Chains A and B, each alone.
Chain A
Amino acid sequence: MTRDAVAPGSEHLPTARLRTHRGRRRRDAALAYLLVSPSLVIFTVFVAYPFGRNIWLGLYRTPPFPGLPRRYAAYEQYQQILTSPEFVASLRTTALFLLMTVPTGLALGLLLAVAAHQRLRGIAIYRTIFSSTVATSIAVASVIFFTLLNPQVGLLTWWLGREGQPSVLADPQWALVAVSGVTVWQNLGLSFILMSAGLQAVPDDLLEAASVDGAGPWSRLVNVTLPMLSPTLFFSAVVGGILSLQAFGQIDLLTEGGPLRKTNVLVYAMYDAVFRQNNEGKAAVLSVALFGLTLLLTLVQIRLLERRVTYER
């Protein structure tokens, strides 16, 4: 390869214009805006705008009949709705739902993860089964259990000895428990996957060191694995909490908020306000409350992220 030969890579150079950094900085900025613009448009129209509009809508009373003007109510509507017994009851239902789904889900997910965290022939099959409910949507899970709880032919109805009685889902005492149970089952796969990932991150040498120190399997679980798993547990709790706050499908498919509004969680109450009561103002106030609760959980999560609930190694 002699230098006299025309260099294949550089033959365009003498004729082409030399592009400069200064020119590129301008082009780069233009390109960057072009690249973010599709996302930006979507976010503006479907996230930022409706969020702002909801806050604004909460300040106005929705007229009883469409076509009449909205009446400005300032903070009065927020105050009135957020202190109403209906909202308090809905909040209480949401909290109960959270309490029944999140800790149970975590505990069961952890149990499965610990059980599957061993070297055995065929363990992959068990892992797949344990994560299988990830593949069931909330609608699939709800319809499966709706049918299993059918008062006439439902298998669970028979096992519970409730044949001839109203469905569990129609029982004010048990409806929310049943909905929570379905939710826990549906989230089990996710919970298992998260816990397994956490367990796999626990360093083996730490467990081996504990074995050398004479710790049995139970002691290793309690004294090494669980403390090392605490960040995963905290995160999963927050994530589970946020997911539970957003519960809607299972309510709509299993109980429609009933019986006696015993399963009327926040999102369902919003849906009810907009599409049954035609009261956008009320739904807007509820949406701001839902956002506040989500934000609270997110802030907790960010705090945890900053503090890194981990142990220095």
Chain B
Amino acid sequence: MARADVAAERSASRATSSGSVTLSGVTRRFGDMVAVDGLDIDVADGEFLVLLGPSGCGKSTALRMIAGLDVPDEGTVAIGGVDVTDVLASDRDVAMVFQSYALYPHMTVRRNIEFPLRNRKVPRADRDSAVAEASRMLGLDDLLDRRPSQLSGGQRQRVALARAVVRQPAVFLMDEPLSNLDAKLRVQTRAELIELQRRLAVTTIYVTHDQVEAMTMGHRIAVMVAGVLQQVGPPGEVYDKPANVFVAGFIGNPPMNLLTASVPSSAVGKSDDVDPAALMVGPDRVMVPAALARAAVDATETEVVVGVRPENVRLATDEGLPVTVTLIESLGHERHLVCATADGQSVIVRVDPSVPQPHPGDPLCLAWNPEDVHLFSGADGRRLAP
């Protein structure tokens, strides 16, 4: 497609889906390392999507490719329905907030905010009104003549936001913008950011490794691990139905308990007549609902992973999975019991500090409701049921 055609098509499509972002099969390699592997994501116009993953999972690389600061080795990036895979960052109509804010230290706040407008030769009057509006929106009116070095961390962060907002871009990209703030300010700024995004209704792609940010901010969360997209969905869905053991183990604090259980060979493939207590953790039976047991057996695998969140585990005295308490962690408002199964797997239980506490070394039984159990494949970790 000729470049002029691209531009024409882009302008035509602006009206309908100006801020949508589509990644198709995007792959980026650095030498032998695959940073991003076949990434497919669709972000709707006006949506707030959080790219969540541990550090080094490729989420920042993905963001840079959407920004146009990096080019994929394979696959395409489209913004507003137009293929911009190879288009320069400056021509993409996207704005970015960096983790370090990347403010120009020698320019005043005003200069920083209007720099993108000056570069695009916006007339002075328009520039002034745009800067005034952006600075009012972010409460920077009194700081316009200061330099970044004279600002607090939170103020710098707001300047970085203002510099992005002032251009009225089709897409906001944010690379861990809250990680340099202290804990209290982070909570406050998080709320302000949500408010701002809902008000402007601009498509926002937000990269973070903080699951609390992800759960609270995004319309949807996209979880990446090792360059591969694991799951995309609303926060509740990602929490309630993690697509695989990676997502299950990453979301939630403390993370979901994942117990490797064996399926008795006699039961494999015989789903008609299944014993709900057929799965074994070490020498002990583990109770799962019949439907799950059937799914495990249907998968014709000899090993599955049983997942239960710490808050869903109950202490019992006689029935359930026998364990030994190894460690008790007190967080004030709650306590974590770290327990070991007979075959040495670790289970964390979240308990109320007001109830009588066991001691390390005490034997216990753990129980849970059938509907709280997640089942994953032992071979590739994908969710089997429900």
Which chain A residues have a beta carbon within 8 Å of chain B's beta carbons?
Answer: 1, 3, 5, 7-10, 12-22, 24
Contacts and interface: CB of A to CB of B under 8 A. Distances in A.
A14 B127 CA distance: 20
A21 B71 contact: yes
Contact of B202 (A3, A17, A24): A3
A15 B10 CA distance: 10
B169 A10 contact: yes
Query: Which DSSP category, helix, strand, loop or mixed, fits chain A's interface?
Result: loop
B200 A8 contact: no
Interface string B151-195: 000000000000001111110000000000000000000000000
Nearest to A6: B168
B133 A1 contact: yes
A1 B165 contact: yes
Nearest to B3: A17
Contacts of B14: 14
Contacts of B4: 17
A17 B201 CA distance: 27
Contacts of B166: 8-9
B237 interface: no
Interface string B1-25: 0011011001100100000000000
Given A9-B116, A13-B91, A3 B126 contact: no
Interface of B: 3-4, 6-7, 10-11, 14, 68, 71, 84, 86-88, 90-91, 93, 116-117, 120-122, 126-127, 130, 133-134, 137, 165-170, 200-202
A20 B7 contact: no
A18 B68 CA distance: 12
A13 B10 contact: yes
Contacts of B117: 8-9
Given A9-B120, A9-B169, A21-B88, A3 B200 contact: yes
Given A3-B202, A19-B91, A13 B169 contact: no
A1 B201 CA distance: 11
Contacts of B6: 18
A22 B68 CA distance: 12
21 contacts: A1-B137, A3-B200, A5-B168, A8-B126, A9-B116, A9-B117, A9-B122, A12-B120, A13-B11, A13-B93, A14-B7, A14-B14, A15-B7, A15-B11, A16-B7, A17-B7, A18-B6, A18-B10, A19-B91, A20-B3, A20-B86
Contacts of A1: 133-134, 137, 165, 168, 200
A20 B137 CA distance: 34
B181 to A, nearest CB: 24
A19 B88 contact: yes
Given A19-B91, A20-B87, A10 B170 contact: yes
Nearest to B168: A7
A21 B64 CA distance: 13
Nearest to B166: A9
A85 to B, nearest CB: 60
A278 B260 CA distance: 92
B91 A14 contact: no
A14 B8 CA distance: 7
Contacts of B91: 13, 16, 18-19
Nearest to B92: A18
A20 B88 contact: yes
B127 A18 contact: no
A20 B90 CA distance: 10
Contacts of B86: 20-22
Given A3-B201, A19-B88, A21-B86, A8 B167 contact: yes
Nearest to A7: B168
B15 to A, nearest CB: 10
B137 A18 contact: no
Given A1-B168, A1-B200, A3-B202, 15 more contacts: A7-B169, A8-B166, A9-B117, A9-B120, A9-B169, A10-B93, A10-B168, A12-B121, A13-B93, A16-B91, A17-B4, A18-B3, A18-B88, A19-B87, A20-B87
Contacts of A15: 7, 11
Contacts of A10: 93, 120, 167-170
A93 B83 CA distance: 73
Contacts of A22: 86
Nearest to B91: A18
B253 to A, nearest CB: 36
A18 B87 contact: yes
Contact of B167 (A9, A14, A24): A9
Nearest to B125: A8
A19 B3 CA distance: 8
Nearest to B123: A8
5 cross-chain pairs, A with B, having the tightest CB-CB distances, nearest first: A14-B11, A7-B168, A9-B167, A20-B86, A18-B91
A1 B162 CA distance: 12
Interface centre among A5, A12, A15, A19 (most CB of B within 10 A): A19
A22 to B, nearest CB: 6
A10 B84 CA distance: 15
Contacts of B87: 18-21
Nearest to A25: B71
A16 B88 CA distance: 13
Contacts of A5: 168
B64 to A, nearest CB: 12
A4 to B, nearest CB: 10
Given A8-B117, A10-B168, A12-B120, A24 B88 contact: yes
